[in-house]
Amino acid sequence: MSKTDNDVTARYYETEEERVLAFERGERTAVVAQNSDGYAMVMVRPSVDGDELERYYGFDMALDHAAELLGVRVGDLPVPEEASDMGM
């Protein structure tokens, strides 16, 4: 699932290990990921395969960090509906 708004593109997908919400804005990227069970903290990484920067209980806090990495307001992040239940 992909969604673009306010010059930010969000892609949501699932792997065997994780639920992934990857954001792109120009050359900047930010990733919010959660284990595939969906009952864990969400982590923020600078890229899909990047090192974890921080873990959060709440999806809103992870989105705030992702927005900061992209240089936008959190309200500018398009979140596909499939990803809206991430976090504890």
- pLDDT tens by residue, 28-47: 999 999 998 867 899 999 99
Given a contact cutoff of 8 angstroms between Cβ atoms, the answer to whether 86 and 38 are in contact is yes
- pLDDT tens by residue, 64-86: 999 999 999 999 999 999 999 89
Distance CA 51, CA 81 (A): 26
Structure tokens at 43: 């982590």
- pLDDT tens by residue, 44-57: 999 999 999 999 99
Query: Is the predicted pLDDT of residue 88 greater than 80, yes or no?
Result: no
What is the pLDDT at residue 2?
Answer: 81
Given a contact cutoff of 8 angstroms between Cβ atoms, the answer to whether 46 and 53 are in contact is yes
Residue showing tokens 């500018």 = 76
What is the pLDDT at residue 80?
Answer: 94
